[in-house]
Chain A
Amino acid sequence: MALPDGRRESVPDRLRHLSTPPRTLRGQWEKPAVIAGLTNPSSLQAAQTFADEVAKASRFHVLPQKQVAQAIPNYPQLIKGPYASAYFEIDEDYAKTDVGRVREIQKQLGADYLYILWAPTSVQSGGKGLFFKNYPVVHVVAQFFEFPGGKEIGRGKYMIRFDDDRNEFVRDDLAAVAKEFAAKTSMPK
């Protein structure tokens, strides 16, 4: 993917994570859940992969996705997300999140923290060569809520590559997000 000035975009350029300052959570045995805020396959798969990577990179006891799916009827469900539009890029507007719905979901899950991610759009750039591969890039916006209270304590916006051949996200991208998430919540392994 090329930047407007013609420079090729590297993975770190594309990753912007939690924008809140580092903070210490209540204890080291916190139980967060990672939830997809949309019903599309990208959001669901990103939530699954991110939950795995957070479990690897942090001391969090992440609720397994299987448990999430059992606790929330008809998971994944649509949760109105923090953006005005999301066609080729996300026009974020954090006031738009349906916080009431977020609270309902937390009640069903009983998690201490909810990391909700929305992957509403993916962009495929043109061009293909013998020696290089262009990946579709999925745009993600996320919010991190603390309970009880449902206060937003973090947010993030980043892009992750999807490997069409393997039908999965490029692990390194979400691993980098998870590593930064762990660092900024003072919970790295």
Chain B
Amino acid sequence: MNNSLPHGALAIVVFSVLLGGCGGGTFFALKDPNNPIRPTSVSVITGGSEDADLRLAEYLTKELKDRTTLQVVGQDEVSKAIPSYPITVKTVEEKNGEVAWVDPSEKTKIEKIQAKLKTNYVFVIWSKRMVKHTVCSNRGGCTNTYSADVYGNMLEYPSGKIVSHTAFNKSNSDSVLALFRAKGYYVDQLLKNSAEGIVDEFIKVTNTGKR
């Protein structure tokens, strides 16, 4: 048996993981690549109700506002328009959790939200399975690694069709500066990076980047 190939392949994998260091998946992809979309206005709503879900929606809204030509509804306006926001939006997870879709039973709920926000696209985003993994060295000191699965779907109106999907895992670890950082700093960074990654791909796919 030739051992050099598996070792070489393993080295490439390890190198890639070290270089990337932060999970993988699809940041933003059209459900039907042959059917391009032309959003003019978009609102982001969180499909979860934990702090991480709300923050992710805030960061995604900010990224879209700052970097695209779209009209983006702010999270404060979303909150004012929908008094019970955030509302949990159920998902159907397929292919071992690789793809999350808005549960069909939730479409009426999102339609009502869209009717208030009046944007031609609604981007539903979830942060799921946030995990903190702590490794302590026998020489002293511990390192925390945080990871989360991010799911998203964009719906087009008035048809209410799901036109895109987002499904990836992101992780981030404490650095030596952790002592000087606020408690949620590294999770915040993880969520900010997730939003940035989504908008990078969103701009490529929709060609709506600011010039």
Please list the residues of chain A having a beta carbon within 8 angstroms of any beta carbon in chain B.
4, 38-41, 73-74, 76-78, 83-89, 91, 120-123
**Closest CB in chain B relative to A85 CB, distance in Å:** 3
Q: Does B182 contact A (CB under 8 A)?
A: yes
Give the residues in chain B near A87, CB-CB below 8 Å.
51-52, 130, 146, 183-184, 187
Q: How many of B's residues come within 8 Å of A, CB to CB?
A: 21
User: Are A88 and B49 in contact, with the CB atoms below 8 A?
Assistant: no
User: Are A91 and B84 in contact, with the CB atoms below 8 A?
Assistant: no
User: Are B187 and A85 in contact, with the CB atoms below 8 A?
Assistant: yes
Offer 10 A-B interface pairs, CB within 8 angstroms, sorted by A. Answer: A4-B142, A39-B87, A78-B79, A78-B86, A85-B55, A86-B184, A87-B130, A87-B187, A88-B187, A120-B51
Report B81-111 residues with CB < 8 Å from chain A CB: 83-88
CA distance A74 to B132 in the complex (A): 34
Main secondary structure of the interface of A (DSSP, over half): loop
**Closest CB in chain B relative to A148 CB, distance in Å:** 25
User: Are A121 and B50 in contact, with the CB atoms below 8 A?
Assistant: yes
How many CB-defined contacts (below 8 Å) exist between A and B? 57
Binary CB contact string for chain B from 187 to 199 against chain A (1 if under 8 A, 0 otherwise): 1100000000000
Give the residues in chain A near B87, CB-CB below 8 Å.
39
User: Are B132 and A77 in contact, with the CB atoms below 8 A?
Assistant: no
CA distance A78 to B187 in the complex (A): 22
Binary CB contact string for chain B from 131 to 158 against chain A (1 if under 8 A, 0 otherwise): 0100000000010001000000000000
User: Are A39 and B85 in contact, with the CB atoms below 8 A?
Assistant: yes
